[in-house]
Amino acid sequence: MTHRKITFVKKILADGQPCGKCRDVEARLTAGNHWPQINRVVVADERNEDSEGMRLAAALDVDRAPFFVVETPTETTIYTVFLKFAKEVLAATTANDDARLLLAENPDLDLL
Amino acid sequence: MATRSTESNALESHLEPTAKALLGDAFDRFEADQIAISFSGAEDVVLIDIATKIRPDVRVFSLDTGRLHPETYRFMERVRDRYNIQIDLLMPDANDVRDLVRRKGLFSFYQDGHQECCAIRKIKPLRRHLAGLDAWITGQRRDQSITRVEVPMEQDDVAFSTVDHRLVKFNPLAAWTSADIWSYIRSNDVPYNPLHDTGFMSIGCEPCTRPVGPHEHERNGRWWWEDAGGKECGLHGQNVRAVKIVG
């Protein structure tokens, strides 16, 4: 069994509202019943630069949220694209997700 | 001493032969049924004009998302008649579209971005079609978008190749500018989408495309509402140090 720890970092906007993308990711985690695989949820609160999520983002050199930190005994991997995380870590993407990921990784394709 | 006009003509005069040579080479290397042009229904009609002079029965396909402008459908028909070619219209999977529309309605891209809709209406049909080809030809140009500044004339298509299937992509117009394209269209009496006469530079789906001003970049004519949303993903704390984007 793989010993890994997954941390989900979500963002609270400066106006106190959760960010829309974070809500979307949470809905996807719920719909796919993936929460049991998430070990920790950390909040990056834009109103509080000392919030754990903001400090973690700074420490890991990440400039956007939501993001996932996947730690294993040998490496730490950061995913800022949920679909990539879903595919590589949760192994839970559909053909539509794969197409969307392809587009995310090749943004020029949307101009076709 | 060369004037600006003659320099411009010299530039144009090498672009067309270079594109022709690349297309000729591509047609020599790939069987007729294994290579096709991707036609968007916009100014990439130039590709068809050049290619049909080399191979009159060149295969052409278009992504029919179901949301194109009526003018674009009529233009495709005009191109079909003018060049006496068949155009394969690639359509999205009906169940995918039905599911998306049932869940989110017809205009979900205005709320949560265009990627989900584009994935269903463009990427999946394109991937399905390209699986049956060894090479494809696009009208991508370096001046179209910041995402295309490094488009080469020929490349291994890493996006759609698989372990078992290598796909090559040709971009004969990569070095052309918008001005070069329009110079060619006018000089060669090439038909064009009438939307261009009303300010459209980049033409895609009707809900996601708009005219742009004289000094605006053509990318501004697509998904304009997403600019603010895209920035929302950033972390805006005052003292968060500059950081890189990772996987």
Looking at domain A5-111, its CATH architecture is 3-Layer(aba) Sandwich (3.40)
Please give the structure tokens belonging to residue B65.
């998302």
Pick out chain A residues at pLDDT < 50.
none
Which chain B residue shows the shortest CA-CA distance from A100? B119
Q: Is A17 on the interface with B (CB under 8 A)?
A: no
Q: Judge if ipTM > 0.85.
A: no
Mutation site for A-interface testing, chosen from B93, B235, B238, B245 by largest number of A Cβ within 10 Å: B235
Q: Are B171 and B31 in contact (CB under 8 A)?
A: no
Measured between alpha carbons, how far is B31 from B33 in angstroms, rounded to an integer? Answer: 6
Annotated active-site residue B208? The verdict is no
A40 min Cα distance to partner chain B (Å): 20
For residue B119, give the nearest of A106, A86, A21, A27 by alpha carbon: A106
Tell me the domains of chain B and their CATH numbers. 4-197 (3.40.50.620)
**For residue range B3-62, what is the model confidence (pLDDT) as tens digits?**
444 445 545 578 999 999 999 999 999 999 999 999 999 989 999 999 999 999 999 999
pLDDT of residue B194 exceeding 50: yes
* Contact between A64 and B235 using a beta-carbon 8 Å cutoff: yes
Domain coordinates in residue numbering, chain A: 5-111
Q: Name the residue of chain A whose CA is nearest to B43's CA.
A: A112
Query: What are residue A45's DSSP bridge partners?
Result: A12
Q: Which two tokens stand for residue B215?
A: 């000094």
The confidence score (pLDDT) of residue B233 equals: 66
pLDDT score at B236: 57
What is the percent of chain B with per-residue pLDDT over 90, rounded to a whole number? 72
Q: Chains A, B: CB contacts under 8 A, how many? A: 116
Strand order in the sheet with B59-63: B87-90, B59-63, B35-38, B135-137, B168-170, B154-156
* Average pLDDT for B76-82: 97
pLDDT band at B235 (very low <50, low <70, confident <90, very high): low
pLDDT-based confidence at B246, cuts 50/70/90? very low
Subunit contact A58:B241, Cβ cutoff 8 A: yes
Could you tell me if B246 and A78 are in contact, meaning their C-beta atoms sit under 8 angstroms apart? yes
Compute the nearest-CA separation of A51 from chain B (Å): 10
